[in-house]
Amino acid sequence: MMKLFQRKHQIKLVAPVNGMYVDLRQAGETKVQSGFAIEPMEGEIHAPLAGTVTQLTKQSITLSADFGCEYVVQLGQPVADLDDQLFDWHVAVGDQLSVNESLAMLDVNAIHAADASAIVSCGLSNQAADDVEVEKTGLVSQGDQLATLKVRG
């Protein structure tokens, strides 16, 4: 019964890079539950929301945000044989990030030359939010408000 009166919170998400919006299902992303993806026009990637870096891999970062949300930013689709030099992270585990803070450089041209996808996928990796409501599609600019997380809390 208490869940009936549970307040919903919202976390605004911004585009982490300049590019073209892509639906996650079309991007083939399976690591995140709901969110969005962008085919980047350039390689500088920024934080789509504020949070603490809790995990960092060759091609992805996990941010712990308000209200227990865990949010993943995946650089390119996972390809085991891509050179580590194509992904240059500017952050480390434990860093506190502000929205729009620089996360990484992605060598978009080299990734395309390797016949791989440079799509940047962003989405929830846990059940802390009910949904990601996408508010803007098409061509997006880094920093544009792109979506809202609907969070239980």
Distance CA 142, CA 17 (A): 4
* Predicted TM-score of the model (pTM): 0.86
DSSP per-residue letters across 80-137: TTS-GGGEEE---TT-EE-TT-EEEEE-HHHHHHTT----EEEEESSSSEEEEEE---
Per-residue pLDDT of the chain (153 residues; tens, 9 = 90+): 455 555 578 889 999 999 999 887 776 655 666 789 999 999 999 999 999 999 998 888 999 988 788 888 988 766 556 666 777 899 999 999 999 999 999 888 888 888 878 889 888 777 666 677 889 999 999 999 999 888 766
Residue 83: per-residue pLDDT: 64
Residue 93: per-residue pLDDT: 98
Assign domain 13-152 to a CATH class.
mainly beta
CB 126 within 8 A of CB 65: no
CB 75 within 8 A of CB 59: yes
Cβ burial, residue 32 (10 Å; 0-12/13-18/19+): buried
Distance CA 138, CA 9 (A): 26
List Cα–Cα distances, 93 to 54, 63, 90, 150, 153, in angstroms: 5, 9, 11, 26, 26
Assign 48 to helix, strand or coil.
coil
Handedness of CA 28, 137, 50, 126 (dihedral sign): negative
Residue 40: per-residue pLDDT: 94
Q: Map tokens 């019964």 to a residue.
A: 1
